[in-house]
């Protein structure tokens, strides 16, 4: 059983960004699973359609998830990092 992204520690102080990153990771895992399913041999047209519909839904979710606010939160977190 694999550990979910949200079960791991993320070194982000902003709780909104931490949640968004965890959700992003989980959606990416979902997409990866759907791609693996799509590669299975002997899928029916109906099964292919269901997988493609879920991929489309995930793509839309990822597109809206990675909006300007998310990008700004990442930029702010980067600016707060100490210089090495």
Residue 2 makes CB contacts below 8 A (sequence gap 6+) with none
Alpha-carbon dihedral of residues 33, 35, 37, 39, nearest 10 degrees?
-150
Confidence (pTM):
0.79
Compute the distance between CA of residue 51 and CA of residue 31 in angstroms, rounded to an integer: 10
Q: What are the backbone dihedrals phi and psi of residue 58, each rounded to the nearest 5 degrees, phi first?
A: -65, -40
All structural domains of the chain with their residue ranges? 5-80
Please choose, from the candidates 4, 16, 31, the residue with its C-alpha nearest in 3D space to the C-alpha of residue 74: 16
In angstroms, the CA 33 to CA 25 distance is 12
pLDDT, one tens digit per residue, over 18-69 is: 999 999 999 999 999 999 999 999 999 999 999 999 999 999 999 998 999 9
């Amino acid at each position: 059983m694999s550990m979910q992204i949200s079960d791991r520690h993320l070194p982000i102080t902003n709780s909104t960004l931490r949640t968004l990153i965890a959700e992003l990771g989980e959606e990416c895992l979902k997409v990866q699973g759907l791609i693996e399913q799509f590669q299975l041999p002997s899928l029916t047209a109906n099964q292919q359609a269901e997988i493609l519909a879920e991929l489309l839904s995930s793509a839309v979710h990822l597109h809206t998830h990675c909006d300007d606010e998310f990008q700004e939160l990442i930029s702010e977190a980067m600016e707060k990092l100490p210089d090495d």
